[in-house]
Amino acid sequence: MPELNNLPCCGPTETAQLKELPHAFGYDFDLHQCLGCGRTFIYVWSNAGAAGAWEWVPESTAQAMIDAEGEDLLSLLRDWAKEL
């Protein structure tokens, strides 16, 4: 079911959650796609209650994360999150 989110690309727009990603570095990550323009984003948030952030990811990165599972997915995510 689409959610309404305030995206950097299109403003308040429905997004589809593509995948729940693992926790890393004390944050939670979810992979979403903007239903306005099709861009893929990782929503970065923490349980501490601070507002989350939308980080654009190339479609190739998003696809790699969709295809990966377990340890492979975690190491992909860690490599990506290092650059935040």
Q: Which residues of the shown chain bind Zn ion in the complex (CB under 5 A)?
A: 9-10, 34, 36-37
For β-strands 27-34 and 53-57, DSSP reports them as unpaired
Minimum distance between the CB of residue 19 and Zn ion, rounded to whole angstroms? 18
Q: Of the two residues 32 and 77, which places its CB atom closer to Zn ion in the complex?
A: 32
Q: Of the two residues 16 and 37, which places its CB atom closer to Zn ion in the complex?
A: 37
Minimum distance between the CB of residue 48 and Zn ion, rounded to whole angstroms? 27
CB atoms within 10 A of CB 59: 11
Minimum distance between the CB of residue 35 and Zn ion, rounded to whole angstroms? 8
In 3D space, the residue among 83, 75, 24 whose CA is nearest the CA of residue 58 turns out to be 83
Q: Of the two residues 5 and 29, which places its CB atom closer to Zn ion in the complex?
A: 5
| Distance, CA of 17 to CA of 41 (rounded, Å) | 10
Structure tokens at 74: 């975690």
